[in-house]
Amino acid sequence: MTDDGGPALEVAYNPVPAAGRVARHQATRLRLALQALVIVAVVALIWAITRSSFDLGTLAGMLVGWLVVFAVLFIIQNLRLRAARKDLLTINEGVVLRLDPCGIAMRREQRVTGPRRSTREEDAADGFQTVPAHPADPALDLVGWHDVQEFAVLGSSMGSGPVVRLVDAAGHRWEVPVSWLDALPGAIDSAARAWSGGRLGLDVTGLDRPF
C-alpha cells in the first residue's frame, strides 16, 4: 500500500485471532464443566438404580478418578484462557510493521533488549546505539536494509504462536506474534525481497524451532 511516506507495506495489529482464542478456551472450559456435571449425574443415577448390587467403594473410586481428570483439564484450560486474555489485552492498535525503501520498521513496544523492553534512554545506558524512528511514523523503530541481521519467523504453535523477529547490527531485537498481524508471512516476504532488491526475505526455516 502507499501513504504520505511513499510506497510501503504497512502491517497493522489484528486482534481477531486472539479474540477467537479467548472464545474457544471459554467454550472448552464450559464444555468441561458440563461434562463433569453429566458424569456426576450418571454415576448418581447408576448408584440409585443398582445400589443393592453395586459396590459403593468401586463406584466412588470411579467418580473420584473422573473428577480428578476433569479438574486437571479444567485447570489447564483456565491457564490457557488467562494467557489468551493477556495476549488480547497486550495487542495494540495501528501499524506494527512497515517495509519500504528505507528498510524494516517495527513498533517500538515490540522491541526487546535481552529479557526486557527498552527505551532510547535505556539504550544509551546499556551501551546500545540509539535506534532511529521512521520518518513517516515516529512510533516505529527503523532498521535500514544494510543493518538487518535477522528477519525471520521463529517458534511453535504454542500460545500466541510463531513470532516475526527482527534483529539489527547493534543487537536490538523486535518480536511480534504472527497471529497479531493482518498480513500473511508470504506478503511480508515478498515486500522484503522487493524493497531490498532481492537480498533479504522473511526466513521461515525456523518455524517450530525453540527460541
Q: Is the pTM of this model over 0.85?
A: no
CA distances 89 to 14, 70, 86, 116, 185, Å, are 12, 28, 5, 18, 23
Show the cell assigned to 78: 483456565
CB 63 within 8 A of CB 43: yes
Start-to-end C-alpha separation, the chain? 32
- Which of the 8 DSSP states describes residue 13? B
Residue 168's contacts (CB-CB under 8 Å, 6 or more residues apart) are: 131, 143, 147, 148, 149
Is residue 162 packed enough to be buried (19+ CB in 10 Å), middle (13-18) or exposed (0-12)?
A: buried
Look at residue 3 and tell me whether its pLDDT is greater than 50.
Answer: no
Note the pLDDT of residue 101. 93
Show the cell assigned to 59: 463406584
For 96-108, what is the mean pLDDT? 94
Note the pLDDT of residue 120. 53
Residue 6's contacts (CB-CB under 8 Å, 6 or more residues apart) are: 100, 101, 136
Q: Provide the pLDDT confidence category of residue 50 given band limits of 50, 70 and 90.
A: confident
d(CA 17, CA 23): 10
Is residue 126 packed enough to be buried (19+ CB in 10 Å), middle (13-18) or exposed (0-12)?
A: exposed
Model pLDDT for residues 51-97, shown as the tens digit of each residue: 666 666 777 777 788 888 888 888 888 888 887 788 777 778 889 99
- Return the closest-CA partner of residue 64 out of 95, 78, 43, 89: 43
Note the pLDDT of residue 99. 96
Model pLDDT for residues 143-173, shown as the tens digit of each residue: 999 999 999 998 876 667 789 999 999 889 9
Where does residue 116 fall: left (phi above 0), alpha (psi -120 to 50 degrees), or beta otherwise? Answer: beta
Helix (H, G, I), strand (E, B) or coil at 109: helix
- Return the closest-CA partner of residue 111 out of 37, 170, 40: 170
CATH number of 2-14+94-207: 2.30.29
Phi, psi of 67 (to 5 degrees): -65, -35
